[in-house]
Amino acid sequence: MNVNTKPPPGSRIIENLPKTMNLEPINNALSQLRVLRSSVGQVFDTLGTGVRADHGEEGKEQKFLQELQELLNSVNANLKDFESSINDLTPPQTPLNLANSAYLSLETNLERQALYPHLVQSYKWHDKLHEYSTFASTLLQQNSLKRSYYTNTKRRRSLPSSHLATPQMVENLIGSIHYNNMNLKIARPFMTNAILHITIARVLRAAVILKGLLIEWVTVKGYEESLLDGVDEQWTESRHQVFRKVQDHAHSAMLHFFSPTLPELAIRSFITWFRSYVTLFADPCKKCGKHLHNTLPPTWRDLRTLEPFHEECKQ
């Protein structure tokens, strides 16, 4: 008598797997992974234990470090073997098939009935992942040396180089600035870079060292002090304390008005601010109302309102 028995669902799934699938590289990779995890575990066990009694008393730290070095070399060798086994794996060319897993929906056990929907969802996710990774691989191979998939043919505007301004540009800019009680004169002892000499009434003189249209240095001296006799005079400080204070404030204003993108506006703003020193010895301080404080007049001028303040009163 012949009795027909129905094979279990698991056997049907195995029967539908491809006959040509080679599982040896996968098993080899898993074996190498177990060996790598074991060697890494030995390293952490050795580090956690520290120096043991079997290392002896003499040179125990050296023996411990030597043992740790051998374990790390073993981990490195196992990692290389694992990487080589991974390179032997070939990705599947087609998405995985559910085969006869539909029989799972016929399971009568209540605890296993929810397995089939989760399995279908995971297979759908795997199919989308396989599709998107294929598209990404194709696009990356076409644009291996580009940051984006689109090429921008519009050239980026280059930033202006204020320090490379021509002498004619400097002459035109200084020639367009006119104020009462202030005289501007350009000298070129170094042929290219200009030195702007400023004379404010009979109060003070100043030498503004320019590099193109950028202000590099400011020297302030009294009206009776020499400033045009030689190049060295344009770098030495004044012998009067009041003009040395004004020079320090001029350096602060130079940094405040600095603008590499708008150098013409920076020079105009600085000269306008510096011209306010025409009343250096006439206007009192706006805060204390006094002309002198510590034997000095108001040497600071507000960067916006140009109002005079003593250095101690500007806070």
Give the span between the Cα atoms of 76 and 118, in whole angstroms: 39
For residue 263, give the nearest of 165, 128, 166 by alpha carbon.
165
Partnered with residue 217 across adjacent β-strands are: 209
Measuring CA to CA, which residue among 307, 278, 311, 287 is closest to residue 297?
311
Q: Which helix (H) or strand (E) holds 185?
A: strand 182-187
| CA dist 275 → 80, 220, 247, 271 (Å) | 75, 13, 13, 6
pLDDT in tens, the chain (315 residues): 444 444 444 444 444 445 555 678 888 888 989 999 999 999 998 888 887 777 777 878 888 888 889 999 999 999 999 888 888 877 766 655 656 665 665 666 666 666 767 777 888 888 888 888 888 888 777 765 555 555 555 666 655 566 677 888 889 999 999 999 999 999 888 777 889 999 999 999 999 999 888 899 999 999 999 886 666 788 889 999 999 999 999 999 999 999 888 889 999 999 999 999 999 999 999 999 999 999 999 999 999 999 999 999 987
Rg (CA), the chain: 42
Q: Please give the model's pTM, rounded to 2 decimal places.
A: 0.50
Torsion angle of C-alpha atoms 265, 244, 298, 228, degrees rounded to 10 = -60
Per residue in 7-34, is it b (16+ CB within 10 Å) or e — as a string?
eeeeeebeeeeeeeeeeeeeebbeebee
DSSP string, 207-230: EEEEETTEEEEEEEEETTS--SS-
